Amino acid sequence: DELIQILDVEKVLGEVIALEDTTDVDVGDVGHVAGKRVMVVDDSSVARHQTARTLDQIGVGYVTARDGREALELLRAIGGEGADEPVEMVISDIEMPEMDGYSLTRELRQDPVWSEIYILLHTSLNGAINAEKADRVGANAVLTKFVPDELAKAVVAGLEPH
């Protein structure tokens, strides 16, 4: 019997301060990531745009999904390592409708095709509790949104040849 208002803070900020696309990232040599492809999973169109802008600057291709469920469906349709255009990393928000980033990570770790993919949880949530939970579900790294240089460095590190 109560009305609750939920705000998309990233969208509001994007509209209020008109986020500019002028910040260039500086991460050094990124030659080994050129032509690789990642999946960006975020329910915020502003966050997907910011992440895509950073990936464009370092030459990394991407496919996007609005939540974990859509991401799982797309990844399974794309196929694993032998696919024509493989996805080599997942960058996912944590808080999303349908399936959150923790659940997505858990599902990927249980899928033999995707169990080894590098997963970066990119979130506006900050704190040790989130990092601990991310570690428990199998994420490789957690990064607080949104510092383009830090995101670029995390993607470059995550796509390092093993």
Q: Which of 1-10, 96-105, 132-141, 150-159 has the lowest mean pLDDT?
A: 1-10
For residue range 32-45, list pLDDT tens digits in order: 777 899 999 999 99
pLDDT digits (tens, 9 = 90+) for 70-121: 999 999 998 877 778 889 999 999 999 999 999 999 999 999 999 999 999 9
Is this structure's pTM higher than 0.85? no
Say whether 108 sits in a helix, a strand or coil: helix
**Are 55 and 38 contacting, i.e. CB atoms less than 8 angstroms apart?**
yes
